Amino acid sequence: MKTLYLIGFMGSGKSTIGEMLSSSLRVSHIDTDHMVEEVYGQTIAAIFQNNGEGTFRMYESEVLKNTPLQNCVISTGGGIVEKGENVLFMKENGVVVYLETSFDEIAKRLEDDQTRPLWSNNVQEKKDLFIHRKKLYEKDADIIVHTDNKTAIEITEEVKALL
């Protein structure tokens, strides 16, 4: 099986669905955020604070390039699509699945979240980032699955049916 790359905004369920999808397909699962934290020995929040977003993006690309090209589900960070080289890599090597979630649903899910440096306190900034990203996800995806009002099992089955 070609590797599946899950893309989508923060809080769209990439980690949860990646976990479920990989066990259902009996392949391995990698979460690029977790790998960055493991390889570089700092939390994402600490990397942003100590080294800045540019460094985080460099680490993220490095980690992505070292993931398996076969038999794997990769849950990416929401900003993976900010770099053209990452998009090229994913499109060339596997299937890109966009988990689409509405802004209102994301805002509900991340209401008390303090772990994501780019989920700011300013509502307009959040909306602007969401609109900017949505365009990238739509452009880059091979498959789009809507996730609002669905259970994780339903979403997982829907992705599987579309492969």
Residues in the annotated binding site: 11-16, 33, 57, 78, 116, 133
List the interface residues with ligand S3P, window 103-162 (CB under 6 A): 116-118
Q: Which of 13, 18, 79, 94 binds ligand S3P (CB under 6 A)?
A: 79
List the interface residues with ligand S3P, window 35-54 (CB under 6 A): 44
Report the C-alpha gap between 42 and 119 in whole angstroms. Answer: 19
Alpha helices in the chain (DSSP H): 14-25, 32-40, 44-51, 53-65, 84-93, 103-109, 123-140, 152-162
- Choice between 78 and 94, CB closer to ligand S3P: 78
Which DSSP symbol is given to 121?
S
Q: Which of 63, 78, 140, 155 binds ligand S3P (CB under 6 A)?
A: 78
For the chain, the residue count is 163
**Residues that constitute the known binding site for Mg(2+):** 15
Token digits for 4?
């599946």
- Choice between 70 and 138, CB closer to ligand S3P: 138
Report the C-alpha gap between 125 and 85 in whole angstroms. Answer: 25
What are the residues binding ligand S3P (CB under 6 A)? Answer: 10, 14, 33, 44, 77-79, 116-118
